[in-house]
Amino acid sequence: MNATAKQLRFNTKSLLQSVARGEEVTITMRGKPVARLVTVNRRRKKKGEDDTIFGMWRDRNDLREVQSYVRNIRKGRF
């Protein structure tokens, strides 16, 4: 569903009700899309899902003790 910025200003409640029903509302300004209203209750990704950085050092055996590793990389060069 598309709505203009003016419609958003005057019909906010009805647009939010449409979003609550599951519709996506694209807000346009001068004919160009500028924002999208979507529902918050969509399926949230689980912790670690689609997160490429999470667990990236899982297979490394030399980093079992995190505190000593961090202490080692923070110490000075001298």
Whether 23 is in a domain gets the answer yes
pLDDT at 26 over 60: yes
Residue 55 has pLDDT above 60, yes or no: yes
The whole-number pLDDT of residue 64 equals: 65
**Residue 47 pLDDT:** 59
Residue 14 lies in a domain: yes
- Which has more confidence, 42 or 33? 33
Q: How many structural domains comprise the chain?
A: 1
Mean residue pLDDT across the chain: 81
User: The tokens 């899982």 sit on which residue?
Assistant: 58
Q: Is residue 22 part of a domain?
A: yes
Mean pLDDT of 30-49: 77
8 inside domain: yes
pTM of the model: 0.50
- Torsions phi, psi for 22 (to 5 deg): 110, 0
CA-only gyration radius of the chain, Å? 24
